[in-house]
């Protein structure tokens, strides 16, 4: 019988807010998460954002879609992960994950059934969920998309 093992103890990874980026008419908060001391390889993630551009529904703003979301550029232990997230149908969260190995020069691709966001990404996702509920879904005066975009998580260690 196999025994579950953790290959490396959990360690906090720095989460940095990197600004708001326009992608295909959407306004997306951009975050980075890094494993180890290396800085984020931004040219690599620029290529990944092209896949995000193709995945985002059009038009960005509709009666039930505010045209906002967030992207996590996660430079992980074994690969690069681009976690694209957006809000639609008023209160629904949509997600696509794109991956690229750290070694070699392979292109980005959409995640397969065995690949997903991870525990570090979930910290950003939870923060963004709370920000969306508080600024877009809950205000008595109505949605405040600008207030949503102004909320940001920065958990650098």
pLDDT single digits (tens) 88-134 = 999 999 999 999 998 878 899 999 988 899 999 999 999 999 999 99
Check: CB of residue 66 under 8 Å from CB of residue 143: yes
**Mean pLDDT of the chain, nearest integer:** 94
Distance CA 57, CA 68 (A): 11
In angstroms, how far is CA 117 from the centroid of its own chain?
9
Distance CA 2, CA 109 (A): 31
How large a percentage of the chain has pLDDT more than 70?
A: 99
Other residues' Cβ atoms within 10 Å of the Cβ of residue 91: 11
- Our CA angle for 46, 98, 119, nearest 5°, is 110
**pLDDT, mean of residues 64-82:** 96
What pLDDT shows up at residue 88? 98
Residue 157 has pLDDT above 70, yes or no: no
Q: Quick one: tokens of 80?
A: 């690069």
Other residues' Cβ atoms within 10 Å of the Cβ of residue 48: 22
Q: Quick one: tokens of 16?
A: 């940095």
- Please give the full DSSP string across 115-150, using - where no structure is assigned: ----HHHHHHHHHHHHHHIIIIIS-TT---HHHHHH
Residue 14 has pLDDT above 90, yes or no: yes
Question: 47: which strand partners?
Answer: none
Distance CA 80, CA 61 (A): 29
What pLDDT shows up at residue 81? 96
């Amino acid at each position: 019988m196999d025994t579950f093992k953790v290959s490396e103890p959990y360690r906090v990874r720095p989460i940095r807010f990197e600004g708001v980026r326009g992608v295909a008419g959407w306004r997306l908060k951009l975050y980075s998460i890094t494993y180890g001391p290396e800085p984020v390889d931004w040219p690599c993630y620029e290529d990944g954002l092209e896949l995000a551009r193709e995945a985002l529904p059009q038009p960005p703003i509709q009666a039930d879609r505010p045209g906002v979301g967030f992207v996590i550029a996660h430079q992980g232990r074994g690969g690069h992960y681009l976690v694209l997230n957006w809000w639609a149908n008023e209160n629904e969260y949509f997600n696509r994950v794109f991956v690229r190995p750290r070694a070699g020069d392979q292109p980005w691709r959409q995640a397969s059934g065995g690949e997903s966001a991870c525990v570090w990404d979930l910290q950003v996702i939870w923060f963004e969920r709370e920000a969306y509920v508080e600024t877009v879904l809950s205000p008595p005066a109505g949605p405040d998309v600008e207030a949503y975009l102004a909320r940001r998580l920065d958990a650098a260690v």
